[in-house]
Chain A
Amino acid sequence: KNEVEQSPQNLTAQEGEFITINCSYSVGISALHWLQQHPGGGIVSLFMLSSGKKKHGRLIATINIQEKHSSLHITASHPRDSAVYICAVRENTDKLIFGTGTRLQVFP
């Protein structure tokens, strides 16, 4: 079992839909990243969370430290949101552990 699990692995949506991607982890962490990787490889760091909730535009990320769970929400999804979304946790030892990613496709 991976230390960082994401669900779903693949997600398709119609433009405008509200999207949720989940991340669960089994190790003690000091922080959690949400990353976005577009075809071609480049990775963008969307959020870094250690508690609570953050919002950037149409993206919202939440984390529940007690439940070891984080969610990434996309409101009013758009085809340009199509990408792989990766959850990565910073273990208490400073090691960064990546989830397997969620492949999102948003159709017009």
Chain B
Amino acid sequence: DTEVTQTPKHLVMGMTNKKSLKCEQHMGHRAMYWYKQKAKKPPELMFVYSYEKLSINESVPSRFSPECPNSSLLNLHLHALQPEDSALYLCASSQDVLAWTEEETQYFGPGTRLLVL
């Protein structure tokens, strides 16, 4: 199983709502990532978890709150978002964020398309 799953596929929320995005992988990967992608732009890295600990936070506003409950799950909690946060949110995983070998690769999920009204 080389699949990264994300739910929901689409999400519409108001600026006062609280919602969560979920990501799951069962490949035994120990590194998981959240990316944000605006239309026609490349993905931007938001957070990296390594062995269930937050290792990289790319200066993301506190209205985005990541959580890694276990090695297979990664959540992104959303609160008081702005319309400009509307984007595709991509989750990815890899064997180990530090073990950079020829076979290392990131596996991406299909994304959650978020619209903030």
Residues of A within 8 A of B (CB): 30-31, 33, 35, 40-45, 48, 50, 86, 88, 90, 94-96, 98-101
Residues of B within 8 A of A (CB): 37, 40-45, 88, 90, 92, 97-98, 100, 102-111, 113
* Chain A, interface SS category: strand
Within 8 Å by CB of A43, from B41, B44, B90, lies B90
The distance in angstroms between the C-alpha atoms of A40 and B39, with both chains bound, is 11
Asked if B106 and A33 sit within 8 Å, CB to CB, the answer is yes
* Chain B, interface SS category: loop
Asked if B109 and A42 sit within 8 Å, CB to CB, the answer is yes
Asked if A41 and B42 sit within 8 Å, CB to CB, the answer is no
The distance in angstroms between the C-alpha atoms of A41 and B10, with both chains bound, is 11
Asked if A96 and B88 sit within 8 Å, CB to CB, the answer is no
| Chain B residue, CB-CB nearest to A87 | B42
Residues in B whose Cβ lies below 8 Å from that of A48? 102-105
Residues in B whose Cβ lies below 8 Å from that of A44? 108
